[in-house]
Amino acid sequence: MIHDLTVHPETYVDSIVQLSGTRALRSVDGVDWASAAMATPTNRETLAAEGFDPGDAGANDLVIAIRADSADTVEAAREAGEQALFAVAERSGGARQQEPARTLGEAVGRLDGANVAVVSVPGDYAAMEAHKALGAGLDVLLFSDNVSVEDEIALKDRANRLGRLVMGPGAGTAMLGHTCLGFANVVTPGRVAVVAAAGTGAQEAAALLDRWGVGVSHVVGLGGRDLTAAVGGRMALSAVRALVADEGTDIVLLVSKPPAPEVARAVVEAAAGTTLVAALIGVDEDFAAPDGVVVTRTLQAGAAAAVAAAGGSVPDLTEGVVDRVRERIERLPADRTLVRGLFSGGTLCYESLVILADVLGPVYSNTPIDKALGLPAPAGAHTCLDLGEEEYTKGRPHPMIDPAARIELLREALAEPGVGAVIMDVVLGHGAHPDPASELAPVCAEAGTDGPAVVVYVLGTEQDPQGLAKQRKAFEDAGCLVTETAAQASLVAAALASRKPEIAVHAL
């Protein structure tokens, strides 16, 4: 194998572009491993572990590392990677040859009228850059993670004093005035706003609203910790109050991974004056909500309640489902009773944990709701994995961008004795892989007619660049059971594992 490392000094590209570059590098046949990353201390450790010497490269330097079977492959991969990394600059008039903006203030000066800063730098520097953005009068989408709780609280307190938004840290999606930021789906304008302490939870809610005929005014991402007891809903409270006063919004759909109940209650109460639906995944059934507020435990139920509040109706999601599940059960060997969830979306993994546990009992995970159900799981246990967590993304792109890591685990699950159903979410939209079905569907087909059933949910809209119908059809043609919602995918998997087809249409 040939190890090749190229350093671009003083060349910064953000995290999403780095991931796109890495995907392009690894797409070339003959590449064994590759990465496009800033030479931060963490990334230098990853490079060293893969046999590369980054030399004196530092956090402001872009490093392209390729391990491949020949010099020709290295050259082809480097060309593909650099095209992905620098294409945006070249399309904007050759900016790659221009002196780049070195500070946030300089960037603001070049872009007259900017009102939002997307901060996507290593966590050690992220809070400082977010503070600079607030000082420049900007709202902030803080894409970076590895920001301390103390820094998050300080940023959000300052934002509230200034009347600004800090979305994040770890906020992967937002849509303000129909401008998509981060990972986002293309949705029809409407009068329901989504406020979410959950990235793919926000995407699922917005996509379902769009597909069920109700448009979306805004999507405000909060970062996954906002509704914890430590952060106290600082930005959720601010966002909800702003949306109550927004003339373009009639209904607020609040979405969260398992929240601190007292924080969720305070945020719900702040919505007095508008219609609010709260999809609080896994919330206790005795959660006391104010009169007029609908609280649900799943994203599907929350979106359905918001549609009803808007005067719409949800289409029949059950037609033919039981028959398809029953037919698949008939071909499933009796000893295949285990469920494996392989999720690119953390919120969808949480939702699946709640739904599966209601039907099948304990489900183990790398992100368990019940900390006693963490990994490693005992033999014969059900598992759901959030593949967007650091243990699966260190040194490689997020699974929404590059399916490679999930393909490895999918093949393992299909070959594992006892596995009857594998759940997989496929997220479309801006920032996601341009054609995920082209890589994932052929592997799903390897299950054959008598192997585990692969249950796929495609999160997206027909307006997304990948095309919802096209992606769904590719998985159906590969023999997958394709569902209408993420929640339904978990119900179908539970029905297969329990041999009870009627569970597939259980009301949520």
Task: State the pLDDT at residue 99.
Answer: 59
At 197, which helix (H) or strand (E)?
strand 189-197
Place of tokens 């969830």: 341
Per-residue model confidence as pLDDT tens digits over 171-195: 999 999 889 999 999 999 999 999 9
Helix 199-211 × helix 299-309 angle, to 10°:
40
Rounded Cα distance, 165 and 101, in Å: 24
Per-residue model confidence as pLDDT tens digits over 195-232: 999 999 999 999 999 999 999 999 999 999 999 999 99
Strands 139-142 and 62-68: unpaired
Rounded Cα distance, 383 and 341, in Å: 6
Rounded Cα distance, 222 and 157, in Å: 14
- Degrees (nearest 5) of the Cα angle 268, 274, 277? 50
Return per-residue pLDDT of the chain as tens, 508 residues. 999 999 999 888 877 788 889 989 998 999 999 999 999 888 899 999 999 999 999 988 999 999 999 999 999 999 999 999 987 554 444 444 455 677 888 888 888 889 999 998 888 889 999 999 999 999 999 999 889 999 999 999 999 999 999 999 999 999 998 899 999 999 999 999 999 999 999 999 999 999 999 999 999 999 999 999 999 999 999 999 999 999 999 999 999 988 999 999 999 999 988 999 999 998 887 888 888 899 999 999 999 999 999 999 999 999 999 999 999 999 999 999 999 999 999 999 999 999 999 999 999 999 999 999 999 999 999 999 999 998 888 767 789 988 988 999 999 999 999 999 999 999 999 989 999 999 999 999 999 888 999 999 999 999 999 999 999 999 999 999 999 999 999 999 999 999 999 999 998 7
Distances (CA, A) of 215 to 211, 312, 448: 9, 11, 39
Rounded Cα distance, 325 and 456, in Å: 13
What are 347's two structure tokens? 């919120």
Q: Taking the chain, what is the end-to-end CA distance rounded to the nearest angstrom? A: 52
What are 434's two structure tokens? 């341009």
Whether cis (ω within 30° of 0) applies to the bond prior to 434 is no
Place of tokens 């183990």: 364
For 282, list phi and psi in degrees, rounded to 5.
80, 10
Task: State the pLDDT at residue 404.
Answer: 85
Which stretches of 110-183 are assigned E, i.e. beta strand? 116-119, 139-142, 166-167, 173-176, 179-182
Task: State the pLDDT at residue 91.
Answer: 46
For 214, list phi and psi in degrees, rounded to 5.
-120, 125
Q: Which residues, 6 or more positions from 249, have their beta carbon under 8 angstroms from its beta carbon?
A: 191, 192, 193, 217, 218, 243, 274
Q: Give the predicted TM-score (pTM) of the model.
A: 0.89
Task: State the pLDDT at residue 95.
Answer: 44
Task: State the pLDDT at residue 97.
Answer: 46
Residues in the chain: 508
Domains of the chain: 2-97 (3.30.1370), 105-309 (3.40.50.261), 321-505 (3.40.50.261)
